[in-house]
A and B are shown apart, each in its own frame.
Chain A
Amino acid sequence: MPLNSRHLLGLQGVSKEDIQLILDTAHTFREILDRPIKKVPTLQGKTIVNLFYESSTRTRISFELAEKRLSADTVNFSISGSSVSKGETFKDTMQNIEAMKVDMVVARHGAAGVPLFLTNICDANIINAGDGIHEHPTQALLDMYSIRQKLGKLEGLKVCIVGDVAHSRVALSNIYGLLTMGVKVSVCGPSTMIPRYIEELGVDVIHNIDEAIQENDVLNVLRIQLERKAKEYFPSIREYAKYFGITQERLDKNGKDILLLHPGPINRGVELSSEVADGSNQIILYQVTNGVAVRMAVLYLLGTLN
């Protein structure tokens, strides 16, 4: 069964069947990653451009590995800042790249909506690798895959997304995907970091981290982006860590075997204490491994569609 779209721009509006298909396909690729020779010929002859308008190490490497393991030809295009500051418009840049005959574009950009814009100006399959504070669908898919593997299901679970929800592209994709899969979703963070009207998407909002731990099966802990404006939204790192950081003590106090996810990179001592970051509840590196498999699945499903 093919996917219902030739692009993956986000998880808003993506059907349960499509998500299921991606996760199931990821599972078959996951097995390849444990083989001595981690390569299949599936996308041989396909050219994929990794267009990164924003610095990113893990997402880009994850995509690149996924592409290489599917035997695609890959090109990396990294540029920081907006197209406007470079003189050439974004549209011109894209049309130049497309003129070189590429099949798929994996795009990371600081501005929301860029992947959709790309679908209007070029014919390649577009995969959103993170656009502004909008969506980051493959991250949410790998989170869902990891949860499903660890807990055996998604439907009926309770997942809380913790931290700077307002400035996170991971949060929105997770919310859409998890709700579609029948998960009860909440968000937890300081009120300055919860976007207004988020409850209209069908999630609960809480501001007490202990409550979040008690009430949920899974916490997906977001990174506090200290390098960005995030610091304006809470008084100090100390205060954030004290009231919203997850420590072993806090986990023990609430006496619950909770699954902890984090999209990385971690700020140790801020959103997760070092002990927790290396502890038995977290599956951070497991997520990273699964990320390659999930991206292989997405690339495979889109790349073999036409």
Chain B
Amino acid sequence: MKVVLKNVNLIHPEQKIDEKNVSILLTDGIISKIGKLSKEDLDGAKELDLENKYVVPGFFDMHVHLREPGREDKETVETGCNSAANGGFTAVACMPNTEPAIDSAEVVNFIKEKASAHLVDVYPVGAATLKREGEVIAPMAELYEAGVIGFSDDGVAIKSASVLRRALEYSSMYNVPIIEHCEDESLSGGAMNEGVNSTILGLPPVPAVSEDIIVGRDILMAEYTGGKIHIAHLSTATAVEMVRQAKKKNLPVTAEVTPHHFTLTDDAVKSYDANAKMSPPLRTQKDVDALLEGLKDGTIDVIASDHAPHAIEEKEAEFQYAPNGIVGLETEVALTLSELYHKKILTLEQVVKKLSINPRKICNISIPKFEVGESANFTILDLNLVWTVDIKEFKSKSKNSPFDKRLLTGKSVGVINSGKLFYNDEMISI
């Protein structure tokens, strides 16, 4: 089938493409022409008029929880992929804190099989240790062969420095990152950031230094072993500075931030709404400012959602007993555009790098190309669309978001990948 994307603006930072008002012809999901199209090209084609819209290499969220296998009541591979497509992603990496954990080729294959027919590519992250228990490293070679793009005990940090060392040494054979949830177990267990708000709200606190200690440990160990560390959901000012210094020394350290950590502060906890409960917790304005600076100067490579679906009844509970995390796939692109692009923290090119190019580089995944003969892997953006978040419209099975009813500017209006087009709330094969 022929599809024509008419009058689009093309941005591809890696290929140094920045073109205005061109058209793209796709034939059976493959790019067959870019530029001015002839009458013949248009003949019998499905035309999408995308004037003033931007076509960018498909976004990749390298930190999501699909909950399958184990908690299919919260999310499945399919609903998670639908959520990703609706949010503007053509690929996701799913974290291994499933039940069972992704610590065997069987579980990797199970997830890949579930995702095989979908527009969205799913790249499992393997557990760094067996059952994510932090004692023995997982069968990394077998997991790598089955297709994982990194290893993590996400939800917690790898328990001890000695196991982290082995994990980094072993994984470096495959040049894939260890993705670390940085939190010192002995300092954790609180419900929100330690600060004046935790004192006022009477909620058990978790201090910022809990994150900083593990970020410091991990950077030192990356330097010592030469293995790649990717710091997940960076949230403190001190940790940003540590990553900045590590990069100055050219250490194999990369970092990501979530939209909620660069948008909200712990003021959001004041209503005791458990949708403001996450790990790491929402921090202070000083931390948010440091994260924005880190995004700007390149210290933070990646924006990722930490999409964490939870059932309504789990979140409509006492704050300190509610589980951590929020769904993020369907607000991530819009929050990035609203809070970073429109507020002139990042250029569009930087946004594309952090949502598409950098995460693929970190995970060794090939970057979609805008060239004739290449498979189309696009995210289509309307930068100026003003819309209001409505959790009821989420494709995710779960609705736990603190951004319900928030007015945002900019949105993904469609994605194309694997010979499929998602546009106008409709998924079609092309």
A: residues with CB less than 8 A from B are 12, 82-84, 89-91, 109, 111-114, 116-117, 131-135, 169, 172, 195-198, 200-201
Contact = CB atoms under 8 A, between A and B. Distances in A.
A116 B272 contact: yes
A197 B195 contact: yes
Interface string B191-208: 000111011111111000
A134 B202 CA distance: 4
Contacts of B196: 197, 200-201
Nearest to A166: B199
Interface stretch (B101-109, B140-148, B315-323): B315-323
A201 B313 contact: no
B366 interface: no
B271 interface: yes
Contacts of A112: 201-203, 272, 319-320
A82 B320 CA distance: 10
12 contacts: A82-B321, A91-B313, A91-B316, A109-B318, A111-B321, A112-B201, A112-B202, A112-B203, A112-B320, A114-B318, A117-B318, A195-B198
B83 to A, nearest CB: 25
Contact of A134 (B194, B195, B201, B316): B201
Given A132-B203, A197-B199, A198-B199, 11 more contacts: A12-B200, A82-B318, A112-B202, A112-B272, A117-B318, A131-B202, A132-B202, A195-B198, A197-B196, A200-B199, A201-B196
A117 B322 CA distance: 13
A170 to B, nearest CB: 11
A169 B318 contact: no
B63 to A, nearest CB: 26
B57 to A, nearest CB: 43
Instruction: Please name the 4 residue pairs, one residue from A and one from B, whose CB atoms are nearest each other, closest first.
Output: A134-B202, A113-B272, A111-B318, A112-B202
A132 B318 CA distance: 10
Nearest to A115: B272
A196 B313 contact: no
Nearest to A195: B199
B313 A111 contact: no
Interface of B: 194-196, 198-205, 271-272, 313, 316-321
Contacts of A169: 202
The CB with the most chain B CB atoms within 10 A, among A90, A112, A131, A198, is that of: A112
A172 B316 CA distance: 26
B272 A117 contact: yes
B194 A113 contact: no
A196 B320 contact: no
B317 A91 contact: yes
Contacts of B321: 82-84, 111
A135 to B, nearest CB: 7
Given A82-B318, A89-B316, A91-B317, A116 B271 contact: yes
Nearest to B319: A113
B201 A196 contact: no
Contacts of B318: 82-83, 90, 109, 111, 113-114, 117
B402 to A, nearest CB: 15
B272 A201 contact: no
B319 A111 contact: yes
Considering residues B199, B313, B319, which has the most beta carbons from chain A within 10 angstroms of its beta carbon? Answer: B199
A91 B313 CA distance: 8
A221 B249 CA distance: 53
Contacts of B201: 112-113, 134
Contacts of B272: 112-113, 116-117
Given A111-B320, A132-B320, A196 B199 contact: yes
Contacts of B195: 196-197
A299 to B, nearest CB: 23
B317 A90 contact: yes
Nearest to A131: B202
Nearest to B269: A113
B43 to A, nearest CB: 59
A245 B198 CA distance: 28
Contacts of B316: 89, 91
A7 B24 CA distance: 62
A20 to B, nearest CB: 24
Given A90-B318, A113-B318, A117-B318, A172 B202 contact: yes
**B203, B204, B272, B318: residue with the most chain A Cβ atoms closer than 10 Å:** B318
A198 B194 CA distance: 11
B202 A201 contact: no
A289 to B, nearest CB: 28
A12 B201 CA distance: 10
A197 B195 CA distance: 6
Contacts of A172: 199-200, 202
Given A111-B321, A117-B272, A196-B195, A89 B202 contact: no
A82 B317 CA distance: 10
Which residue, A111, A195, A197, has most C-beta atoms of chain B within 10 A?
A: A111
B203 A113 contact: yes
Contact of B199 (A83, A111, A116, A201): A201
A134 B198 CA distance: 9
Nearest to B191: A112
A179 to B, nearest CB: 13
B317 A89 contact: yes
Nearest to B323: A84
